[in-house]
Homo-oligomer: A and B are copies of this chain.
Amino acid sequence: MPNPTAAMLVIGDEILSGRTRDANMYHLAGELTEAGIDLAEVRVVSDRPEAIISAVQALAGTYAHVFTSGGIGPTHDDITADCIAAAFGRPIDIRADARDLLAAHYEKAGIELNAARLRMARIPEGAELIDNPVSVAPGFILENVYVMAGVPSVFRAMVASVLPQLTAGAPLISETLQIDRGEGDIAGPLGDLAEQYPTLSMGSYPFQNKSGKFGANVVIRGTDGAEVRRAIEQLAAAFEP
């Protein structure tokens, strides 16, 4: 059985403007790979309703799971919940259980639950809440879309709470071989190996070290660890001095 596929949608101008370097994509990609779920596509879109709605519809219709990050806070540019509702044609309003979570949290903290904070209790009809152990305001799951916060500490906590719920495929085993030769020398033997092991995926990731020399990390991935090992050993043998 092939692994389930997933996509991620990063929402918000901070990455597109170059202000913030992405951390959530990197975190989610690692977690999904470990769980045996193939992250097949990522899109980053700005805080415009049309951009968010059409990306959600395209990704939710193509992949088994879609994870979003960003745009669920209290400010006027946080429009993700409304856009997800619109993408699925669902009504959205302040929901009692989400409001109660916020009310209890802010009362304890001695902070006013004002109109802006109450926006974080707007949840599309039929969604399931995602626990936020960091700052309480919940994420939610609607159909196959997991809507999570953009603040990295909150995003990570939400990912940790939803991942165990997902039906994962066989975990992906990956091994890496660093070869201190130009990719042009690696390409021939690696191409032959890829043909010989059609069920494994092989990628070559070139680098240039501090002294300016080129090399590459070759990563071989597959669900059969013994096969991955054999392929790595065969490749290593081809580059022994």
Q: Which residues of A contact B (CB under 8 A)?
A: 12-23, 25-33, 38-47, 51, 73-77, 111-112, 114-117, 119, 134-135, 150-151, 153, 174, 182-188, 190-191, 194, 201-208, 214, 216, 219, 221
Q: A12-B203, A16-B39, A114-B184 are in contact. Are A191 and B75 (CB under 8 A)?
A: yes
Residue contact B45 to A187, C-beta cutoff 8 Å? no
- Across the interface, A205 reaches (CB within 8 A) one of B20, B23, B44, B201, namely B20
**Secondary structure class of chain A's binding surface, majority of residues:** mixed
| Residue from A46, A74, A75 whose CB has the most chain B CB atoms within 10 Å | A75
Residue contact B25 to A73, C-beta cutoff 8 Å? no
CB nearest to A114 among chain B residues:
B184
Q: A32-B18, A43-B42, A46-B40 are in contact. Are A187 and B74 (CB under 8 A)?
A: yes
Residue contact B76 to A13, C-beta cutoff 8 Å? no
Residue contact B18 to A31, C-beta cutoff 8 Å? yes
Complex CA distance for A12 and B201, rounded to whole angstroms: 12
Q: A17-B203, A116-B183 are in contact. List 12 more A-B contacts (CB 8 A).
A: A13-B203, A14-B219, A18-B28, A18-B31, A18-B33, A42-B42, A43-B43, A43-B44, A73-B183, A112-B184, A116-B191, A135-B214
Residue contact A40 to B16, C-beta cutoff 8 Å? yes
Contacts of A39 in B (CB 8 A): 16-18
Residue contact B21 to A42, C-beta cutoff 8 Å? no
Contacts of A188 in B (CB 8 A): 114-116
Contacts of A51 in B (CB 8 A): 40-41
Complex CA distance for A30 and B16, rounded to whole angstroms: 8
Residue contact B33 to A17, C-beta cutoff 8 Å? yes
Residue contact A151 to B207, C-beta cutoff 8 Å? yes
| Residue from A184, A190, A203 whose CB has the most chain B CB atoms within 10 Å | A184
